[in-house]
Chains A and B, each alone.
Chain A
Amino acid sequence: ETGVTQSPTHLIKTRGQQVTLRCSSQSGHNTVSWYQQALGQGPQFIFQYYREEENGRGNFPPRFSGLQFPNYSSELNVNALELDDSALYLCASSSYRASSYNSPLHFGNGTRLTVT
Chain B
Amino acid sequence: AQKVTQAQTEISVVEKEDVTLDCVYETRDTTYYLFWYKQPPSGELVFLIRRNSFDEQNEISGRYSWNFQKSTSSFNFTITASQVVDSAVYFCALSEATGANNLFFGTGTRLTVIP
Does chain A bind chain B? yes
In the complex the two chains form, is B99's CB within 8 Å of A109's CB? no
How big is chain A's contact interface, by range?
Answer: 20 to 34
How many cross-chain pairs have Cβ atoms below 8 Å apart between A and B? 61
Which residues does chain B contribute within 8 Å of A43, judged by CB atoms? 45, 91, 103, 105
Quick one: which of A35, A42, A109 contacts B107, CB cutoff 8 A? Answer: A42
B: number of interface residues (CB 8 Å): 24
Which residues does chain B contribute within 8 Å of A42, judged by CB atoms? 4, 91, 93, 105-108
Quick one: which of B33, B44, B103 contacts A108, CB cutoff 8 A? Answer: B44
Given contacts A43-B91, A104-B47, A106-B47, contact A58 B107 (CB under 8 A): no
Interface residues in B31-55 by Cβ distance below 8 A to A read: 33, 35, 37, 42-47, 50, 52
A residues adjacent to B (C-beta < 8 A): 31, 33, 35, 40-45, 48, 56, 58, 88, 90, 92, 94, 96, 101-102, 104-110, 112
